[in-house]
Amino acid sequence: AQTVTQSQPEMSVQEAETVTLSCTYDTSENNYYLFWYKQPPSRQMILVIRQEAYKQQNATENRFSVNFQKAAKSFSLKISDSQLGDTAMYFCAFMTSGSRLTFGEGTQLTVNP
């Protein structure tokens, strides 16, 4: 069975600073997908970034980037130039081809002015 672990229940960062959220996973599969979703106070789940395991290049979406370490089974999210609107619960998620999403426990990020 696949598991996803987010070891940081809460984090905070000052506006305009950079913050990194950690995620590790466990799988015996070789082909899979990894995601970061954010859930602001509105409770809607919003896709932030996705990574395909067969791609060595780290995914980037504007201020959001990942550090994907396949051998270490690590998938951290870096948020640069943090904004107040980044305050949300962030979930790391994992999926093998054709299967279902497995979510981590979430990290509550607070961006302070």
Name 49's Cβ contacts closer than 8 Å, sequence gap at least 6.
35, 36, 59, 60, 61, 64, 65, 66, 77
Q: Are strands 19-21 and 24-26 parallel, antiparallel or unpaired?
A: unpaired
Nearer to other proteins, 25 or 106 (CB): 106
CB of 12 to other proteins, least distance (A): 16
CB of 1 to other proteins, least distance (A): 9
Nearer to other proteins, 7 or 97 (CB): 97
Handedness of CA 93, 102, 22, 72 (dihedral sign): negative
CB of 63 to other proteins, least distance (A): 18
Burial of 43 (C-beta count, 10 Å sphere; 0-12/13-18/19+) = exposed
Nearer to other proteins, 48 or 79 (CB): 48
For binding to other proteins (CB under 8 A), which residues are involved?
33, 35, 37, 42-47, 50, 52, 89, 91, 95, 97, 100-101, 103-106, 108
CB of 59 to other proteins, least distance (A): 12
